[in-house]
Amino acid sequence: MIHVGDIGDNFSGRAELTVYTFPEPDQLVTGTVTPTALRFAYSDGRHDAESLLADPKTGQLYVATKLIGAAGRLYKAPLPPQPGQVNTLTPVRPGPVFATDGAFSPTGTSYAVRSGGPLGADTAYVYAASGTKLAEVALPSQPQGETLTYADCSTLLVGSENDSQLWRVPLPPEATPDCGVTPPPPPPGGDLKVTDPGARTCAFNQSCTVQITATGGKAPLKYAATGLPFGLSIDAATGRITGKPWQVGTLRVTATVTDSTGASATAAFPLTVNWF
């Protein structure tokens, strides 16, 4: 998923924040998406923030607040956040002074939050997912250093809104838990099965719906799909594929369902998108 956060609040005047989310397309094409708007409010008043983090394992969203001269805090969103209502952000643990960006590692076992000059130290603070600080890593001195992400599990990419240079910053071994470790495969599906939906046909830029269903397994079930054309997405809770496809041809879609024990099952089917 792609999350776009409208979370800045320099003067602490906003009662609510909004995060817009939509599925990452399998192929990069020019098109229009209709995101889901998720509304949030802090449990303890209004705060400024520039850092939105998403756990790649669970989808959990976090916001790191930004304070001048004092430590901010990391706030956690409910999982899953619900559209159509205000979701409460609750404090989890302290963060650095003047936090300007943050990200989870690809493994989901650690995250980093940076501070930027001139009001903060040019430093990345790396934590285990549990909150234990793993390392403090010096960053290049840049005016308004406000960019941080992971290039891979052992390297950060950092930058500034006032400097076109991006920097690769290697992390020390203590800041890269599970880097290079292949996670064990999920247990076999057992009695969990995805019902084959059969061949499906939709029309370009017209409403299209495909319902994925599953039997067995231990609730709750989580649905996912790969190979969908741009414009279609699947609801992780219901298994319902909806949208307006912006790609023609016959595609092979693979639907996956995972239960609460980690067991999974898949089914593949052809989806043909015609011009008319």
Q: What does the pLDDT look like over 99-110, one tens digit per residue?
A: 999 999 999 999
User: Given pLDDT bands bounded at 50, 70 and 90, which one contains residue 32?
Assistant: confident
**Average pLDDT of the chain to the nearest whole number:** 90
Structure tokens at 207: 């409403």
Mean pLDDT, residues 7-31: 88
Tell me, what's the pLDDT at 245?
93
How do 110-115 and 2-6 pair as beta strands?
unpaired
Same fold for the domain at 2-175 and the one at 193-274?
no
10 Å CB burial of residue 26 (0-12, 13-18, 19+) is middle
Place of tokens 């800041």: 175
Q: Identify the weakest region by mean pLDDT among 1-5, 114-118, 174-178, 191-195.
A: 114-118
Tell me, what's the pLDDT at 12?
84
Q: How far apart are CA 100 and CA 50, in angstroms?
A: 5
10 Å CB burial of residue 144 (0-12, 13-18, 19+) is middle
Structure tokens at 188: 């076999």
Tell me, what's the pLDDT at 30?
85
Identify any residues that bridge with 152 across adjacent strands, giving them in sequence order: 155
Domain boundaries, the chain: 2-175, 193-274
Q: How far apart are CA 157 and CA 135, in angstroms?
A: 16
Tell me, what's the pLDDT at 262?
85
Which amino acid would we find at residue 211?
Q
CB atoms within 10 A of CB 6: 13
DSSP tag of 141: -
Per the CATH hierarchy, to which homologous superfamily does domain 2-175 belong? YVTN repeat-like/Quinoprotein amine dehydrogenase (2.130.10.10)
pTM as predicted? 0.65
Nearest to 242 by CA among 211, 271, 269, 214: 211
User: Given pLDDT bands bounded at 50, 70 and 90, which one contains residue 118?
Assistant: confident
Residue 213, pLDDT above cutoff 80: yes
Tell me, what's the pLDDT at 181?
59
Mean pLDDT, residues 214-242: 92
Structure tokens at 33: 């998406």
Fold that domain 193-274 belongs to in CATH: Immunoglobulin-like (2.60.40)
Sequence length of the chain is 276
Q: pLDDT tens digit string along 152-173?
A: 999 999 998 887 888 999 999 9
Cβ contact 9:50 at 8 Å: no
Residue 189, pLDDT above cutoff 50: no
Mean pLDDT, residues 89-93: 95
Nearest to 194 by CA among 138, 266, 144: 266
